[in-house]
Structure 1
Amino acid sequence: MYKTVAETALDLGMPEEQIMRLVYEGRIRSVYDGEQILINNSQFSTYFQQLERIKEEIEIWRSTPIPEDIDVKDED
């Protein structure tokens, strides 16, 4: 499914200028149809999978209790 630069920027949560820069650098594959640049959304599936995995890892990290410090009980 092809989307415009504005729609892609909204989906990825990035500014349109950054998406255009990535297109010009060749880091995002795109097609120019004579009027606008179209981006195939399927190339971001790995990005979304990694983003979900990172969110899960952060949630696990936040829910892990802080262990008691060994040096808390000073003998002085």
Structure 2
Amino acid sequence: MYKTLEETAIDLGMPEEQVLRYIYEGRIRSVFDGEQMLINSSQFSTYFDQLERIKEEIEIWRNTPVPEDIDVKDED
């Protein structure tokens, strides 16, 4: 499904200028139809999958209890 520059920026949660810069750098593929840039949203599926996985890993890390205090001799 193709989306406009504005819709893509909202979906990715970044400013339109940054999305446009990524298009010019070749990091985001797009098509110009004579009036506007159209971006195929399926190219971001891996990005969103990785983002969800990272969020889950951060949540697991936050819920991991702090280990008991190891007996470290203070040399002061």
Do these two structures clear the TM 0.5 threshold for a shared fold by scoring above it? yes
Aligned to 2:47: 47
In structure 2, list runs of 5 or more residues that go unmatched.
none
- Aligned pair count reads 74
Q: Identity over the aligned pairs, expressed in percent?
A: 82
The one-letter code sitting in structure 1 at the alignment partner of 2:26 is G
In structure 1, list runs of 5 or more residues that go unmatched.
none
Q: Secondary structure at the match of 1:60?
A: helix
TM-score, normalising length from structure 1? 0.92
Aligned to 1:23: 23
1: CA distance between counterparts of 2:38 and 2:71? 59
- RMSD of aligned C-alpha atoms? 1.4
Aligned to 2:11: 11
Encode CA deviations 1:1-53: one digit per residue, 9 max, x unaligned.
00001100000001100000000001100000000000000000000000000
2: CA distance between counterparts of 1:17 and 1:62? 34
TM-score, normalising length from structure 2? 0.92
Q: Secondary structure at the match of 1:3?
A: strand
Runs of at least 4 residues off by over 6 Å:
none
Matched, 1:34 2:34: yes
1: CA distance between counterparts of 2:72 and 2:13? 43
1: CA distance between counterparts of 2:71 and 2:6? 54
